[in-house]
Amino acid sequence: MDPKREFLRHAVATLAYRGGKTVRDAPPSFAGFDNGGRTPVQILAHIGDLLDWSLRMARGSREWRDSAPLAWPEESLRFFAALEALDAYLASDAVVAAPLEKLFQGPIADALTHVGQLAMLRRMSGNPIRGENYYVADIQTGRVGADQAKAVRTFD
């Protein structure tokens, strides 16, 4: 497999791991936490839109679609489903019609930024996630579903 494609798949797995931490075990009130910007559920819907857009671009279309946010549990499912669809496409022999570097620098990097926002909002809302040493995290290419590895080394 093309090393760039393999790297992008690892970036998608990293997004699944980090994003999974922010959506997992969030209290029901978190979805609507309002700190003067987008609510967490609006951010998660935007991440889903970014992932859907990534897949459309990989297939040759640059069409952007804004979706209305679903309830938190459904947006969480959508997040992982979109990651799985994108990873499956990247893992296939199908032609990727967009430059891999552009897919990373645009929608994937943007999604990682928004996962950071969700982590910050979890802390601000009184329900922080534990920090960890992501360098030693068990992130594996292809593992992009909700079932992620446990943290290897967390910070107190």
Question: Which amino acid makes up residue 112?
Answer: L
Across the range 97-102, mean pLDDT stands at 98
**In the structure, what pLDDT confidence band is assigned to residue 75 with cuts at 50, 70 and 90?**
very high
Per the document, the length of the chain is: 156
Residue 16 Cα distances to 47, 62, 65, 108, 148, angstroms: 11, 23, 21, 11, 8
Where do the structural domains in the chain lie, given as residue ranges? 3-26+42-136
pLDDT for 17 equals 98
Q: Mean pLDDT throughout 80-98?
A: 98
What does the pLDDT average to over 124-141? 95
What's the pLDDT score for residue 114?
Answer: 98
pLDDT tens digits for 136-146? Answer: 999 999 999 99
Q: pLDDT for 43-58, tens place per residue?
A: 999 999 999 999 999 9
Mean model confidence pLDDT for the chain: 96
Q: Would the pLDDT of 156 be above 80?
A: no
Confidence class of residue 154 from pLDDT cuts 50, 70 and 90? confident
- Reported as a pLDDT band with limits 50, 70 and 90, residue 36 is confident
- The CA distance from 26 to 128, in Å, is 9
* Structure confidence at residue 35 (pLDDT): 85
* CA distances, 148 to each of 13, 98, 105, 110 (Å): 9, 28, 24, 21
The model carries a pTM of 0.95
Residue-level pLDDT at 41: 98
Looking at residue 38, what is its pLDDT? 95
